């Protein structure tokens, strides 16, 4: 990755897989024309995009027609929230009511969900309920989410797995209970969204099994380029509301304007194809090395290592370990800054420049003094046991030096 350094920050971004890099290069050379053009070169570019759409759809068990490409998960998440709000506003206008739309989300969400929802609430456009994660399990409780739903609820948005702790949220169980509620109470405009940025490429993601209406996907989290995709259930039949957030001349069937980046879309399609063909292998390798890493941390640091948000019986994505070392001067940012041969982060890369304790960890029941010392160690497909040994040796030397500092 970078000289001899061990990279343990794959939850923030992954490198392009070699096959993805080759696919992007080929697409830029062969499919450079505008995919909206009707001539031969334009048709070739369009075919390249549709092939990629098929691979992304296959990765999550969806129909090709239910996938649109975006700039990333941030855009996808924004588009979902704002579409549901706009849908409710249209219904309210037709019915002559003034009730605001209501959104339910959690305090574990990425800022592109939580901050967007908060801004809508601050502007008086929605009612907002933020469900707190249960500190005994590190995820939201299904009953808390269902209990927050009311007649004007238009959207429930719960991420599939948290990027800092790796804890998998009970999205499938929430979906089942929402389906029951919709049937019993005859809700017709209540939808479920999940952000799968941290799960695609690591664990199975299937739209039918999850029972969701919207899925946000980030290419650069599974060895693809930095673009995204959005799944919308039965998009063509308009069963689920979706309104374009970016307006232009109607690319992506009118749902997301702007000339498509054929090269990056092709690359994302190849990354999705690799997931389809190799997910079991990826999962097994990641879990084996993650478990070995945690074993080595325990052996070398004993009671001085604290595994944050690791709960008995609670599932995590297979590549993520959030740990704190107990002791003076061992704040996560300080330890990471002084590592000579390793790279990791304290948590979300979006907030890596702060020395404050992670709100996600605090919400997950981690005491503040321990949360301040947290490091998120996220492994990749090529992380080896030798990498773990290098990191452990580096960490031991760093801790030894920091403990000598008064």
Place of tokens 């070995």: 292
DSSP lists the bridge partners of residue 307 as 323
What is the Cα–Cα distance from 210 to 178, expressed in whole angstroms? 12
The active-site residue out of 200, 276, 350, 363 is: 350
The C-alpha atoms of residue 165 and residue 107 are separated, in whole angstroms, by 13
Residue 223, C-beta contacts closer than 8 angstroms, at least 6 positions apart: 14, 15, 16, 17, 20, 201, 271, 274, 381
Tokens 């969806």 belong to: 62
Is 350 known to be catalytic? Answer: yes
Hey, what are 141's tokens?
């409780």
**Residue 67 neighbours by CB distance under 10 Å:** 25
Asked if 73 and 111 count as a contact pair (C-beta separation under 8 A), the reply is: no
Residues with catalytic roles: 350
């Amino acid at each position: 990755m970078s000289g001899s350094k061990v990279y343990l920050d794959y939850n923030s971004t992954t490198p392009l897989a070699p096959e993805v890099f080759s696919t992007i290069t080929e697409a830029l050379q062969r499919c450079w024309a505008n995919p909206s053009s009707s001539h031969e070169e334009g048709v070739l570019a369009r075919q390249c995009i549709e092939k990629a759409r098929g691979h992304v759809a296959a990765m999550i068990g969806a129909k090709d027609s239910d996938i649109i490409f975006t700039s990333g998960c941030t855009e996808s998440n924004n588009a979902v929230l704002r579409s549901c709000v706009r849908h409710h506003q249209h219904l309210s206008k037709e019915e002559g009511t003034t009730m605001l739309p209501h959104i339910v989300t959690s305090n574990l969400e990425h800022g592109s969900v939580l901050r967007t929802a908060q801004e809508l609430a601050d502007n008086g456009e929605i009612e907002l309920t933020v469900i707190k994660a249960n500190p005994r399990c590190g995820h939201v409780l299904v009953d808390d989410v269902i209990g927050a739903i009311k007649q004007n609820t238009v959207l429930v948005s719960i991420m599939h797995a948290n990027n800092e702790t790796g804890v998998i949220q009970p999205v499938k169980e929430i979906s089942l209970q929402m389906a029951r509620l919709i049937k019993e109470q005859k809700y017709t405009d209540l939808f479920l969204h999940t952000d799968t940025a941290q799960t695609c490429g690591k664990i199975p993601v299937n739209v039918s099994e999850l029972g969701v209406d919207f899925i946000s996907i980030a290419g650069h989290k599974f060895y693809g380029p930095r673009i995204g995709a959005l799944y919308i259930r039965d998009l063509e039949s308009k069963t689920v509301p979706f309104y374009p957030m970016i307006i232009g001349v109607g690319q992506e069937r009118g749902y997301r304007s702007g000339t498509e980046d054929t090269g990056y879309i092709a690359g994302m399609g190849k990354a999705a194809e690799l997931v389809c063909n190799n997910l079991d292998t990826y999962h097994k390798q990641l879990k084996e090395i993650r478990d070995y890493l945690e074993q080595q941390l325990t052996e070398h640091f004993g009671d001085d290592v604290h595994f944050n948000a690791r709960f008995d019986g609670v599932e995590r994505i297979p590549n993520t370990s959030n740990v704190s070392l107990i002791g003076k001067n061992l704040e996560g940012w300080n330890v990471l800054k002084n590592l000579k041969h390793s790279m990791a982060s304290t948590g979300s890369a979006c907030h890596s420049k702060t020395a404050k304790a992670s709100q996600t960890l605090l919400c997950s029941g981690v005491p503040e003094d321990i949360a301040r010392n947290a490091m998120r160690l996220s492994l990749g497909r090529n992380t080896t046991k030798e990498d773990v040994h290098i990191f452990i040796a580096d960490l031991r030397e760093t801790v030894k030096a920091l403990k000598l500092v008064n």
